[in-house]
Amino acid sequence: MDELSSFQYSLVYNAFSFTFAAMAATTLFLWISRSQVAPKYKTAVTISGLVCAIAAYHYFRIFESWEAAYVVEGGRVIASGLAFNDAYRYVDWLLTVPLLLIELVLVMGLSRSETVSKSTKLGLAAALMIVLGYPGEIADDNTTRAIWGTLSTIPFLYIVYELFSGLGSSIANQHEGVRKLLKQARLLTFASWGFYPIVYMAPFIGLTGATAETTIQIGYTIADLVAKAVVGVLIYLIAVRKSAIESTIADERETAKEALPV
């Protein structure tokens, strides 16, 4: 890889540092705030916090690895001889990406059988997508990268289909007060996930060396922030809204019963 400029090194360094702090803060917020939602939605909020906690740990390790891989001397960034370990990112995705889909299914409050079915199918597809993408990520040539990237796209397309078709009918049956938020969560999940393959293809548009490395690291980091921290907060807002709506409906039913003549 070409020598990194001080700007490129600092940009990635600061992005990793910021993301670690953001993921850690979001974890605390979600876990502390889970008391604000109804019991049936606590698991979804807990998992959202868990996703951010796992990401915070791995970004801390990524940050450490980046710092160890380079030495800054006299304004120049020199490779230290220790390789930057980008495998932390894929280990993180293998754990968190299935959970991201599961939290979305859980917050919808579907029947037990439907929740288990959709969570299992989407979780396995997400794990397969990550496993197939990793060999291409570490490949030295674009042909190998393209082959594994194409294979990884197959489960990704299945996930997209399920998000907009399988979950589409379920979202349509939700209370109108949360329907828009659920659609936003689904769209944001799709948009952030769709950003990953764009970044993955950076070497195919002529980016090489330090420029490609900087682009990939910054791109993946932005996508992670949106997919985990931003969507996590949105999941919490959906849980709060649904809890309030269901509480109001229950109160209205109770009032109606009391109003009936004895």
Per-residue pLDDT tens for 63-108?
A: 999 999 998 887 788 888 888 888 899 999 999 999 998 998 888 8
2 in helix, strand or coil?
coil
The burial class, CB within 10 Å (0-12 / 13-18 / 19+), for 35 is exposed
Phi, psi of 59 (to 5 degrees): -70, -30
The answer to which of 54-58, 158-162, 208-212, 234-238 has the lowest mean pLDDT is 208-212
Which of 115, 120, 150, 116 is closest to 132 using CA atoms?
A: 150
- pTM of the model as a whole: 0.89
Per-residue pLDDT tens for 107-152?
A: 888 788 888 988 899 999 999 999 998 898 888 888 898 899 899 9
For domain 6-253, the CATH class is mainly alpha
Q: Return the half-sphere exposure (C-beta side, CA atoms, 13 A cut-off) of residue 186.
A: 24
Percent of the chain with pLDDT over 70: 96
CB pairs under 8 A, 24+ apart, for 182-188?
182/107, 182/108, 182/238, 184/234, 185/104, 185/107, 185/231, 185/234, 185/235, 185/238, 186/104, 188/226, 188/227, 188/230, 188/231, 188/234
The sign of the dihedral angle between the CA atoms of 44, 47, 49, 55 is negative
- pLDDT greater than 60 at residue 262: no
Quick one: tokens of 94?
């293998």
